[in-house]
Chain A
């Protein structure tokens, strides 16, 4: 389960920045086109944060929708699955949202 390694990275990065201070909450941004399942991430978060300065902290997940921009007709297309296809038939799409996998911020103190 890659969510374990992903969540471990979140906890490591937050611990490093917190420098011993207690972390109350962490906010992450997860795109719909990444292979990360928010529920799995929550499950891992409680396990991984145990015994660290993040223990008991809240995990806020901002989910971002999959959105593509068609390079052929210029339209914005919602990408619900991973098939990159515009209504005009073009498969030449730039993904403008949905691939985020970021740590946004955290609350310490």
Chain B
């Protein structure tokens, strides 16, 4: 009997097994996102060489990422070089808004993709070529789940939640808030009109991310924005 397959043929020189080849188990033991993380590492090194601080801004659609950036870019004009990568599924609308502030910007359209990944940022960086020492703002696709999983090579992840979204969001979207280095609570000018508890929201954020800092701001009115600027570039 053939010892390798038990097919009943006599022992002898190697023969074919027309009834089905043997399978082989290959051990991989690697992170699923190894390729993304590898590219993110490249981005991080590339940015560090140029002393560029990259911030990955994430929120659900409409929390105010672009509005916050418009004001922030105007603040840093003349103080610090800036550059922006805009991620959206479709359109260049956000990049057009940013361009009007006079800042260098590149739009990345992800099509059906619901997040930016390290490869997309890599390509965007080689086109945008931000100046040395810049603050690079990356506006991720509006989505409170998927972008949290993909390291881009950024220095920090900033999560924005607006007061119209509900106090409980950090508990409902724990992955995003667990990944955050800073949580901005935006649209606080609307607090008189909505049922939102800023302190409790901050508590919920700390329940999933004990050391995370929260900053209440109004991107349209300007309240609290100095704290955000200080966080970006401590005086």
Contact = CB atoms under 8 A, between A and B. Distances in A.
A45 B113 CA distance: 16
Contacts of B149: 2, 6, 34-35
Contact of B115 (A5, A24, A84): A5
A106 B21 CA distance: 16
Contact of A109 (B24, B31, B36): B24
Interface in A76-109: 81-85, 91-92, 101-109
B82 interface: no
A82 B176 CA distance: 11
Contacts of B128: none
B29 interface: yes
Interface string B162-202: 00000000010011001000000000000000000000000
A20 to B, nearest CB: 13
Interface of B: 21-36, 113-115, 117, 145-146, 148-150, 171, 174-175, 178, 206-208, 210
A105 B26 contact: yes
B171 A2 contact: no
A103 B28 contact: yes
B216 to A, nearest CB: 22
Interface residues on A, range: 20 to 34
B21 A35 contact: no
A44 interface: no
3 smallest beta-carbon distances between A and B, as pairs: A82-B174, A2-B146, A109-B23
Nearest to B28: A103
A87 B210 CA distance: 16
B60 to A, nearest CB: 15
A81 B174 contact: yes
A91 B32 CA distance: 29
Interface of A: 1-2, 5-6, 9-10, 12-14, 17-18, 24, 28, 34-35, 81-85, 91-92, 101-109
A36 B223 CA distance: 37
A9 B149 CA distance: 13
Given A2-B115, A5-B113, A9-B36, A102 B145 contact: no
Contact of A17 (B26, B32, B145, B210): B26
B33 A106 contact: no
Contact of A102 (B24, B30, B114, B148): B30
Contacts of A12: 35
B203 to A, nearest CB: 11
A105 B220 CA distance: 52
A68 to B, nearest CB: 12
A85 B146 CA distance: 25
Nearest to B30: A103
A14 B27 CA distance: 10
14 contacts: A1-B114, A1-B146, A2-B149, A5-B146, A24-B23, A35-B175, A82-B208, A101-B31, A101-B32, A102-B29, A104-B28, A105-B26, A107-B23, A108-B23
